[in-house]
Amino acid sequence: MPIYEYRCSNCGNQFELRQKFSDEPANECPRCGGPVQKLISQTSFTLKGSGWYAEGYSKSSAANKSQSCSKEGACATCPSAAA
């Protein structure tokens, strides 16, 4: 379940709630009962590096593989062998 951050408009209390996607957003501060706003925050999940997409599925990587293939399309990783 995702964790959502909220901030109270009255007292400035910032808090997190673990909620299902189907749950209604919080609308009341647990400290003072004031109205709250959902915050957009940075996730801790980050994709770094070249990754599988850039190495196996992008058009530029397919062009580079076909140019550098020494077996002229006979290897399993060659784009022309998969077509």
pLDDT (tens digit per residue) in 26-81: 999 999 999 999 999 777 777 776 666 666 665 655 455 545 556 665 666 666 55
Q: Report yes or no on 19 lying in a domain.
A: yes
Residue 69 within any structural domain of the chain: no
* Residue type, position 81, single letter: A
In a domain, 12, yes or no: yes
Of 5 and 50, the structure prediction assigns the larger pLDDT to 5
Confidence (pLDDT) at 76: 64
Asked whether residue 32 is domain-assigned, the answer is: yes
Nearest alpha carbon to residue 26 among 58, 51, 45, 13: 13
| pLDDT at 48 (0 to 100) | 73
Q: Is residue 25 situated within a structural domain?
A: yes
Mean pLDDT of 20-26: 94
Q: What is the pLDDT of residue 74?
A: 61
Domain count across the chain: 1
- Boundaries of domain holding 21: 3-39
**14 pairs with which residues across the strands?**
7
| Confidence (pLDDT) at 58 | 58
Residue 11 located in a structural domain: yes
Would the pLDDT of 9 be above 60?
A: yes
